[in-house]
Structure 1
Amino acid sequence: MNEPTILQAIKTLMGNSPEHLNALIISGAGGAYVRAVFAPQSSWRKRALEGTAGAVSAIFLGGVLGHLIDAITGAETYAYLAGGFIMGEGGIVAVQAVRRKFLGDEAK
């Protein structure tokens, strides 16, 4: 039996997902990388955790932002690339701002 490798599984998953989701994943990872490189923390572990959180926020929040950009500009996949990158790099700050707005002092 020829079992699929992890790379083959990723290729199959990416091939079967919508184009804008692929754009969010790739650009979110890029934004998270930029965030990790320029993060003020001296700990690489903390940078990696912030980068991971940025990538996750890019997937979930980047879709909303990408949809808004696409509606305004009609840029299609490029709108999702921009939304994913912005949320990958600044998603943590965006999530904290939303939490403060809706949860007030409880978000601290």
Structure 2
Amino acid sequence: MSTSSSDDPFAQVRSRFAPRWEPRVRCGEGWAPLLVELDRAIAAVSPATEYIHIKEKHAQLIVLVSPPANAEVRELIDAAAAKAQSTCENCGAAGVPHEKFGWVHVLCPRCAARDGYSPK
């Protein structure tokens, strides 16, 4: 079953994964605009760069690329990760780290309350 890009907010990003890596983005759709913006910026400065891993871990955006990021690509990734620290992973609204049973995610107050998370 294929997913059209209109159904998949990460379609553009998934299309630039390195061939041997599963094109899986492991974070909430609230970070999709950040990742699409990052992807466009990376493609502009380093078209050969491909993703090998994109995920959320401990409320942080992790992006690994191949070939290893040069300084310009690293700055772009770091800037996106910094924006993610204040963006709800679920809906994209302003957020802060919240915790539940040891799991930490950046969430807005509405998503945190809905899912039973408390501010960290």
TM-score, normalised on structure 2? 0.28
Q: Which has the higher strand share?
A: 2
TM-score, normalised on structure 1? 0.30
